[in-house]
Amino acid sequence: MIPVTKNNYTEIDLYNTNLDIEERKYQKMLKEQLSWLNAHSYQIKDRSHKLYERYKTNKLSTQLKNRCCNYPLLEEKSLEYVKVH
């Protein structure tokens, strides 16, 4: 999970037909990944929300916390970035 505001990413048209071979391969891979993410969205959202809450309430093991991003800091910096740009 990385906090990103709408003006800090670019949407990709997965149905564009004017692509070369490499772009079509990339488009196919993105479609497959999106399909998998959509099929597992409930589990992904549930687990990521639990991880986020446990991180914020300091209820993670040290080993797991050391592998996580500092979510509150990322959120803070994301808001600062939006103000600057």
pLDDT of residue 6: 80
Residues 75/5, Cβ–Cβ less than 8 Å: no
Q: Is the pTM of this model over 0.85?
A: no
pLDDT of residue 79: 86
Instruction: Profile the chain (85 residues) by mean pLDDT over runs of 10 residues.
Output: 79 91 95 97 95 94 92 89 79
Q: How far apart are CA 57 and CA 65, in angstroms?
A: 11
Of all residues in the chain, what percent are helix, strand and coil, respectively (each to 5)? 70, 0, 30
> What DSSP character marks residue 6?
G
Residues 8/81, Cβ–Cβ less than 8 Å: yes
The burial of 61, by beta-carbon neighbours within 10 Å (0-12 exposed, 13-18 middle, 19 or more buried), is given as exposed
